[in-house]
Amino acid sequence: MEIYFDNSATTRALDEVKDLVVKLMTEDYANPSSRHRKGMEAEQYVKEAAMRIAKTLKVKGKEIIFTSGGTESNNMALIGAALAGQRAGKHIISTRIEHASVYQPLAFLETLGFEVTYLHTDRQGHISLEELEQSIRPDTILVSVMYVNNEMGAIEPVEEIASLVHQKGKNIIFHVDAIQAYGKMEIRPKKQGIDLLSVSGHKIHGPKGVGFLYIDEKVRIKPLLYGGGQQRDLRSGTENVPGIAGLGLAAEEMYRDHKGKVARITELKDYFIDRVQELEGVTVNSLKKSAGAPQIASVSFKGVRSEVLLHALEDKGIYVSSGSACSSNHPAISGTLRAIGVEKDLLDSTLRFSFGLFNTKEEVDICISALEELLPVLRKYYRT
């Protein structure tokens, strides 16, 4: 029996999404830029996906730009907005717990002369609104804050941040990395004051290699890709129609009976946290119920290295993560865990358990039993 508790890295595609993707790769496979009937049919799939997604956010279809995934969406938002607004200033604000697809583009922008202020967080991973207010300057053009932290599930007060940012500077662009939030939270960019919003398809039981960037119609950004002028000249390149259609369907399905889906995942996360806290030497870094993300539980296991425990669980058919999967090929101590003040001896002893639509309480019980068996042995022979 395989138990997959790594849904924040990627999710199993829904069957209906798989079927639609296969259909568009084998039957309705035309290029959406072609002017014949089959091309127009392919183009219609792209438009329909945009409308499906727009409906979940209560925005306009034309405000959805499809990308190759979350990394491109974040790069497009940050670099595009910075380059478009640099005449007004070169100061950007972000946080110390961002994903690499945010802090690496910011590091690139620093090489171009931009200045970035990185906000601190508390033990729960929340920024200080007071520090944010003090950091905003006349030359601030962009603020980027992730909605849900990908490692420990902290939820930032996005609406309060947006209100403060726009109050201090009406032309400041507010970008939100919602890659771990979309599908799990009810998001209303217009109401919440979000100008740019990044999303990835494979985090919501959709295909890999596709995502989108919501761009408020009043916001102007510079494109990163030039060529055929697709997607209103903002993102040139032949559209990935199977991926886009699959993403649109996955988005629609995630927001069908949304409250029920979120309640089930949250209940599973809370059940896991309650069970794992029964074990000796365990520290949970995530919050229960709606105080934290529905799907993420970060747990530190005193006296055993995370990589050792990860592979010991893998040998029992249980799959988890030792951090952000996007960086897992380059193991290092998590900057997020450092930023939230995790004890030094626990920094390399932390695993992320993340849950999705296909997980069950029975799987949690099996995982806890495996941990009960493994931890004493690993602490004895593989101490940190």
Bridge partners of 319?
Answer: 4
∠ Cα 99 339 160 (to 5°)? 70
Q: Is the distance from CB of 275 to CB of 267 less than 8 angstroms? A: no
Secondary structure string (H, E, C) spanning the chain: CCEECECCCCCCCCHHHHHHHHHHHHCCCCCCCCCCHHHHHHHHHHHHHHHHHHHHHCCCHHHEEEECCHHHHHHHHHHHHHHHHCCCCCEEEEECCCCHHHHHHHHHHHHCCCEEEEECECCCCCECHHHHHHHCCCCEEEEEEECECCCCCEECCHHHHHHHHHHHCCCCEEEEECCCCECCECCCHHHHCCCEEEEEHHHCCCCCCCEEEEECCCCCCCCCCCCCCCCCCCCCCCCCHHHHHHHHHHHHHHCCCHHHHHHHHHHHHHHHHHHHCCCCCEEECCCCHHHECCCEEEEEECCCCHHHHHHHHHHCCEECECCCHHHCCCCCCCHHHHHCCCCHHHCCCEEEEECCCCCCHHHHHHHHHHHHHHHHHHHHHCCC
Q: Which of 100, 284, 326, 366 is catalytic?
A: 326
Name which of 77, 239, 260, 265 is nearest 173 in CA terms. Answer: 77
Residue 115 is encoded by which pair of tokens?
């200045």
Active site residue 367: no
Q: Rounded CA gap, 51 and 59, in Å?
A: 9
Give the catalytic positions in this structure. Answer: 326
